[in-house]
Amino acid sequence: LVFDGFVFISGLVFFCYILGLNKFLAKQGHNGCEMTYMYEYPQFVRVTLASNVTAEYRRYGLYAYSEGRQTQQTRNMQFSGIPVLFIPGQGGSLKQVRSLASVSLRKAFNSDYKFHFDFFTLDLNEEYSAMFGGVLTDQTRFAVHAVLRILSLYRRVRPDSMVLIGHSMGGMIAKGLFLEPDFPSHAVRLVVTLATPHSPVILTDTLLQEYYNRVTPYWPPPSGNVTVISLGGGIKDLVVRPGLTLSDQADISILTTAVPDVWMSVDHLCILW
């Protein structure tokens, strides 16, 4: 009888657990995010790098985003705005920059180009950087070469600073850049991390732990001239739980549920829309 009672209670607890898990995963309510659209066809123009960099990082690439009539100017490598580098994360595509870049371009049109942003994006081969820490160092070093190349494109008017935007593990790559000896840290004034786990979601190998152990103690940077904004998606982000996106090292650390005129949780990909 004691054994039967134990089995009954265990089964009841397990059943309640499955019901709760199902409600959490499948019944999170209506997704209130709206997809962004562009009015002209998006183009991703490859930016050439030095031959030694290309040879060393064959699986990676640097691209500039453009639309419609702006594409020819981009192909001619003519830039005059504020450079922004988007760094994708775990399994992320270079094309994930499309929404941010398109909205920014449309706002520039509407403001008669009082100022505008030039968006660049990295192709990191859609590697699973949150599962295997062995790729993080290569991604970081390639991003350094990308930043140097982007700055070299501004021959006439060199920008005072540039912006780094990292999604998911791309945010950790953005933070890790500042530890590289040849990285021009003075050129970056703003780092935005989107759904970035500032602590590991899961530790799968020692290389991942070593990367976090090396990057995290550095922040905030000694210069204090870099503003860091960390934005998390909240409960609907089933990949990175809210607590991991909040960072006491960031100047602004917030969830989308607390952002004025947003007031809702978004999933791991919707945060890019």
Catalytically active residues, by annotation: 168
Q: What is the per-residue DSSP string for 215-252?
A: HGGGPSPTT---EEEEEE--TT-SSS-HHHH--TTSSE
- DSSP one-letter code for 79: -
Per-residue b/e over 189-219, b at no fewer than 16 CB within 10 Å? ebbbbbbbbbebbeeeeeebeebbeebeeeb
**Residue of 243, 230, 228 lying closest to 271 (CA atoms):** 230
Question: CA-to-CA distance for 259 and 207, rounded, in angstroms?
Answer: 35
Instruction: Report residue 163 CA to chain centroid gap.
Output: 12
Strand ranges across the sheet with 42-46 = 42-46, 61-67, 117-123, 82-87, 162-167, 188-194, 227-232, 252-255
Q: Per DSSP, which regions of 111-256 are E strands?
A: 117-123, 162-167, 188-194, 227-232, 252-255
In angstroms, the CA 86 to CA 21 distance is: 34
Residue 193 near residue 87, CB atoms below 8 Å: no
